[in-house]
A and B are shown apart, each in its own frame.
Chain A
Amino acid sequence: DAGVTQSPTHLIKTRGQQVTLRCSPKSGHDTVSWYQQALGQGPQFIFQYYEEEERQRGNFPDRFSGHQFPNYSSELNVNALLLGDSALYLCASSLGAGPSYEQYFGPGTRLTVT
């Protein structure tokens, strides 16, 4: 049983460009959350998708947007990239969206903005 998978593993973009990161949840999971982790910091919640809708959002600008597909996979899009967007982007999935549901994290996508 594959766990949470993310693609690509690494990505280098130029300031001002747009990027799309992809996530496939663990088999059977229906909820996907995205996190940004800067070097030396804990992960910061970006948003959560359940039933193809954004259910919760963290303190991130509208440049960060997402989508969840009928097969529960998800994309994270970031427009107008800034140098400060360089980070490890983590996707987590769970069966259900409530607080008692264990979240499984993927290995992350390392984004570098130059």
Chain B
Amino acid sequence: LAKTTQPISMDSYEGQEVNITCSHNNIATNDYITWYQQFPSQGPRFIIQGYKTKVTNEVASLFIPADRKSSTLSLPRVSLSDTAVYYCLVGDGNTGFQKLVFGTGTRLLVSP
């Protein structure tokens, strides 16, 4: 399973763009890159998933370089409600059965 490394914490202010980078040097050919958000005492919530290049949805963008050894989650114009833990995961695509491996995540604190 590909291991991921991401910053332990980040601070930002309302209205700013936040970029969280995740390193996954030994990602396998079939692996997808997925980001989840978690608020205290709640289950994680899917944000975005990608395989290569750029993916954008209504809440975030995911940038994946050609070598796929890293990825960057971009949150545009964050608000106080974006304060949460963000997890970068690389899915094991070899077995056909998903086994999400969470790290310790990045704690994002958004201040007024």
Binding site for B on A (CB under 8 A): 4, 31, 33, 35, 41-45, 48, 50, 55-56, 58, 88, 90-92, 94, 97-108, 110
Contact = CB atoms under 8 A, between A and B. Distances in A.
B96 A97 contact: yes
A97 B95 CA distance: 10
A42 B46 contact: no
A93 B98 CA distance: 11
A102 B46 CA distance: 7
Given A48-B97, A56-B97, A42 B102 contact: yes
Interface string B77-112: 000000001010001110111111111110000000
Nearest to B45: A105
Chain B at the A interface: SS class: loop
Interface residues of B, number: 27
Contact of B43 (A44, A90, A102): A90
Given A100-B91, A108-B41, A58 B46 contact: no
Nearest to B90: A99
Given A99-B93, A100-B49, A48 B99 contact: yes
B103 to A, nearest CB: 5
Contacts of A31: 98
A37 B65 CA distance: 31
10 contacts: A33-B99, A42-B104, A45-B99, A56-B98, A97-B97, A97-B98, A98-B98, A100-B91, A107-B42, A108-B43
